[in-house]
């Protein structure tokens, strides 16, 4: 079965650089979520999109932005990177905009290291 | 305020034995969902089991079952016949208001041969 595809798997950037993470949801999933998981921490919700519109916003820094495109893939853009942005970034998708009606399926994550 | 509490940072279990991972939650909503995810050392988040707040029966998926006690606001994960491959971090999560899941701090399970 098709899963959520994230690219790249690993990314190394320097402070103050920019990074773009990509996410391709499971086919026919219309909702995409972005999570950030710091070392030894639980995943923290950043932002979600339903039918290409932002549906919820969590603890996403102003330096980050995201969007969902017409083909439902999503990109997380991160600017002015800081050391504290080093984390595992997950994308997840589901079939509806209400998570309790369907589970979130996560991608394998992008491990971002900021040096 | 902490919405999801997992009180066991780490646990050991003997191979082939059953183990229960605790999870308590806090919400004032009547409609919510509870999820368990497994995160191996490789990092991916694997969905295990889901329980809806209106589901009267406990959810089961193979060797995984969810012991749902609504009045006590607990949603413990039971893994039967533990295998070495079950060694991983386990996260309990909840959705109530909004789309996103809120995760607990996780429990690291280590299965001993």
**Residues from chain A contacting residue B52 (CB–CB below 8 Å):** 100
Please name the helix (run of DSSP H) or strand (run of DSSP E) that holds residue A87, with its range, or none.
Answer: strand A87-94
Could A45 and B31 be called an inter-chain contact, meaning their C-beta atoms sit closer than 8 Å?
A: no
Q: What percentage of chain A exceeds 70 in pLDDT? A: 93
How close, in Å, is residue A28 to chain B by CA atoms? Answer: 17
How close, in Å, is residue A105 to chain B by CA atoms? Answer: 7
User: Quick check: bond before A56 cis, omega within 30?
Assistant: no
* Tens-place pLDDT, residues B50-88: 998 888 899 999 999 999 999 999 999 999 999 999 999
Residue A90: CB atoms within 10 Å: 28
B18: tokens are: 């059953």
Could A50 and B100 be called an inter-chain contact, meaning their C-beta atoms sit closer than 8 Å?
A: no
User: Does position B98 have pLDDT exceeding 80, yes or no?
Assistant: no
pLDDT at B68: 96
Phi-psi region of A51 (alpha: psi -120 to 50; beta: other; left: phi over 0): left
Could B33 and A100 be called an inter-chain contact, meaning their C-beta atoms sit closer than 8 Å?
A: yes
How close, in Å, is residue A37 to chain B by CA atoms? Answer: 10
* Tens-place pLDDT, residues A92-111: 998 875 545 578 899 999 99
**Residues from chain A contacting residue B99 (CB–CB below 8 Å):** 31, 33, 48, 50, 55-56, 97-99
Interface test with B, best of A33, A42, A102 (most B CBs within 10 A): A42
pLDDT at A97: 52
User: Average pLDDT for residues B22-38, to the nearest whole number?
Assistant: 92
Mean pLDDT of chain A: 92
Interface test with A, best of B45, B89, B105 (most A CBs within 10 A): B45
Closest residue, chain A, to B91 (C-alpha): A42
* Tens-place pLDDT, residues B3-25: 999 999 999 999 999 999 999 99
- Give the whole-angstrom CA distance, residue B22 versus residue B27: 17
User: Does position B40 have pLDDT exceeding 70, yes or no?
Assistant: yes
How close, in Å, is residue B113 to chain A by CA atoms? Answer: 25
B70 neighbors B3 (Cβ within 8 angstroms): no
User: Does position A73 have pLDDT exceeding 60, yes or no?
Assistant: yes
pLDDT at B39: 96
User: Does position A74 have pLDDT exceeding 80, yes or no?
Assistant: yes
């Amino acid at each position: 079965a098709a899963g959520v595809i994230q690219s790249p798997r690993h990314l190394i950037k320097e402070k103050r650089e920019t990074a773009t993470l990509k996410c391709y949801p499971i086919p026919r999933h219309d909702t995409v979520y972005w999570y950030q998981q710091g070392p030894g921490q639980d995943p923290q919700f950043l932002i979600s999109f339903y039918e290409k519109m932002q549906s919820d916003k969590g603890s996403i820094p102003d330096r980050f932005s995201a969007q969902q495109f017409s083909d439902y893939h999503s990109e997380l853009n991160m600017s002015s990177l800081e050391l504290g942005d080093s984390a595992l970034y997950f994308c997840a998708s589901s079939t509806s905009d209400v998570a309790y009606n369907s589970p979130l399926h996560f991608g394998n994550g992008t491990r971002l290291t900021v040096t | 305020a902490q919405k999801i509490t997992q009180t066991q940072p780490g646990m050991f279990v003997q191979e082939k034995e059953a183990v229960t991972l605790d999870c308590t939650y806090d919400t004032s909503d009547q409609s919510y969902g509870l999820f368990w995810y497994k995160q191996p050392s490789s990092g991916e988040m694997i969905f295990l089991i889901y329980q809806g707040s209106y589901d009267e029966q406990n959810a089961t998926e193979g060797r995984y079952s969810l012991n749902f006690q609504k009045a006590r606001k607990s949603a413990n994960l039971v893994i039967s016949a533990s295998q070495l491959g079950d060694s991983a971090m386990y996260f309990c999560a909840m959705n109530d208001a909004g789309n996103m899941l809120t995760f607990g701090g996780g429990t690291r399970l280590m299965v001993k041969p």
